[in-house]
Chain A
């Protein structure tokens, strides 16, 4: 059971870590100072979530690793994040479309995880939910502003939606990990996540005058460690310092 719990925690924590890293790539490059700070705040929230999730995973697996080992010293196939969160930033609209599709999933997920029988997981969910609600508000507003903005912004953010849509089916991926944890009462029934995600996405995209792509092509694999080529480059940059100077602290 512990193995399943560790796997689930890695799925949860890797989503936060990898998306947090992607968002941090904007640091110093935001369109205006205020938005640059907002994006860095989101990034720090996500990396903070990863820290507490990995601390707990390290405790459950009990193999003498700590949260930094888990974050920085694994190989790409050991990462269990969604393909969605590792996709490159693209333009500003692409970054917030990716963030929005993720936030709309994370909010109901954390709401449900608050009622987990695992107290530590429930506590992490409760704290992260507050941050996630703000992320969702911020990302929704940008999607609406850009979609319902100028001809150019509408066209570009629609292209981002078309490019990212194929990765959204994976948000609801479940396998023996989730099944075992549900049977053990650690995970509640997660069916509501998809219903709420669909409702949020439909509402926001309609206000943004954007169209959901008709093409039903779905791409999955991240939850099993099968990633797009983008993750390797991301990890190379993220892990460089710990690989070059093992154990380095600052």
Chain B
């Protein structure tokens, strides 16, 4: 626990026993595979590479949709 927090947290006897049981979990923490870091970096590289083209395609699609909307919209006053 961190400094600044009340030491015993006013724990009930059952809560105190529970935190003792938690020692079992703290003693054997789940460990990530070492290849996790390169995997994350590969993901970042890949996503960064496609981000620009995707943004461009999105902007073009939005512009086309807006243009089509303007063309299809009837000018007011015309029947």
A binds B: no
